[in-house]
């Protein structure tokens, strides 16, 4: 085996290959500003949903207190 490996000659062929991914920052020539997305973010949506759920819980609790005990603020 060792004899066969030493008999082989290896030739290296240098080929230039263009990279598939190029950096847009390194270009320098094309510097367009990316506008932020318009619309509601995740934090805003979670805040609104949390507020609506809290408000619904308060109203339903008051409705039950008014119906069964006669002591609700909105429902008596």
> Coil, helix or strand for 32?
coil
- Residue 44 has what pLDDT? 95
pLDDT tens per residue across all 76 residues of the chain: 566 665 666 667 677 777 677 666 655 555 566 777 788 899 999 999 999 999 999 999 999 999 999 888 888 8
CA 32 – CA 29 distance, rounded (Å): 9
The pTM (predicted TM-score) of the whole model is 0.49
């Amino acid at each position: 085996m060792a004899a066969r490996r030493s008999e082989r000659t290896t030739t290296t062929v240098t080929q230039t290959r263009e990279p598939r991914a190029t950096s847009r920052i390194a270009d320098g020539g094309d510097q367009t500003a990316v506008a932020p997305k318009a619309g509601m973010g995740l934090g805003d949506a979670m805040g609104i949903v949390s507020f609506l759920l809290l408000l619904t819980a308060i109203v339903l609790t008051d409705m039950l207190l008014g119906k069964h005990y006669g002591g609700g603020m909105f429902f008596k």
